Structure 1
Amino acid sequence: MAASPVSWFPTQPDEIDDAWLSRILGAEVRSHRVEALRDRQGVNGETHRILVEGDGTPRSIVAKFPHAPSRGVAVYQRWYEREVRFYRELAP
């Protein structure tokens, strides 16, 4: 199973399900559990660890969800794009 392009992305943790994770990770996810990382809340949003069970999947991944009040500023100033570029190019 190959990962597919993202046409929809959850905006809060309870929107994540096994089917979506399977599509994103390119491997069948049997189950998952979401844990809030309490010490990882920032100006832009909340961070959660997703514990994943499945063959060929990572054991855990991290998901970030924006706070509604700061989302417009973050999009305008391209904070999300900058963060993705950082992890892709500088800290792979």
Structure 2
Amino acid sequence: MLTRESPASENQVIAGTHRGGRTVAAFPIQPEQLSSEWFTKTLRASGKLASTNEVSGFEVGFIGDGVGLLGMVLRVSLKYARAEGAGPASVVIKFAHPVPENRAIAANLNMYEREVTFFNEIAPEVTSTERAIR
């Protein structure tokens, strides 16, 4: 398990516009680029963290057996500066595979696009699980 208290690298993908017209925020491309500042900004923007609070640290753990064929899924346990106005206790984040050849296979099969489409178009209709970012 990785514990992070300090800022990470700022080498992140550039923000852009989703084909549906929504603005897409910069997103870390690897777990090492996660930072308390990024979580604070992202959770505040989603309305899940009070403007008077901030993420003060976090722990990252793999879900499953680490890196899979197409990527890695992580559970991030969040720590907050104050209990009042705190956001979710944890979030789940999925990253593309760190090896370019594996990413190319997934891209050629449109697997990443299918997954994004699922989360943008189908997942909002599923009401059984709370999602921090929509």
Kindly indicate whether the alpha-carbon contact (under 8 Å) linking 1:34 and 1:51 is maintained by their aligned counterparts in 2: yes
The structure 1 residue matched to 2:104, chosen from 61, 72, 75, is: 72
Deviations along 1:12-63, one digit per CA (max 9) or x if unpaired, are 2121110011111113212211011234643101111011123342111111
SS at match of 2:61: strand
> Partners in 1 of 2:105 and 2:58 — Cα distance?
31
Q: Does 1:16 align with 2:48?
A: no
Task: Give TM-score scaled by structure 2 length.
Answer: 0.54
- If you compute each CA radius of gyration, which structure gives the higher value, 1 or 2? 2
Per the TM alignment, residue 64 of structure 1 is displaced from its structure 2 partner at its CA by 1.5
Which among 4, 13, 25 is matched to residue 6 of structure 1?
25
| Counterpart secondary structure, 1:10 | coil
Aligned mates of 2:106, 2:73 — CA distance in 1:
16
Identity within the alignment, %: 34
How do residues 54-73 of structure 1 correspond to structure 2 at under 5 angstroms? Answer: 54=80, 55-67=85-97, 68=99, 69-73=101-105
With the length of structure 1 as denominator, give the TM-score of the two structures.
Answer: 0.74
Q: Deviations over 1:59-82 (max 9, x none)?
A: 111112222221123234432222
Give unmatched runs, 5+ long, in structure 2: 1-22, 125-134
RMSD across aligned C-alpha pairs, in angstroms? Answer: 2.3
CA contact 1:5–1:24 (8 Å) conserved in 2: no
Structure 1 residue runs of 5 or longer lacking an equivalent are: none
Q: Which amino acid aligns with 1:34?
A: V
Aligned residue pair count: 88
Question: Is residue 72 of structure 2 the alignment partner of residue 42 of structure 1?
Answer: no
Instruction: Judging by fraction of residues, say which structure has more helix.
Output: 1
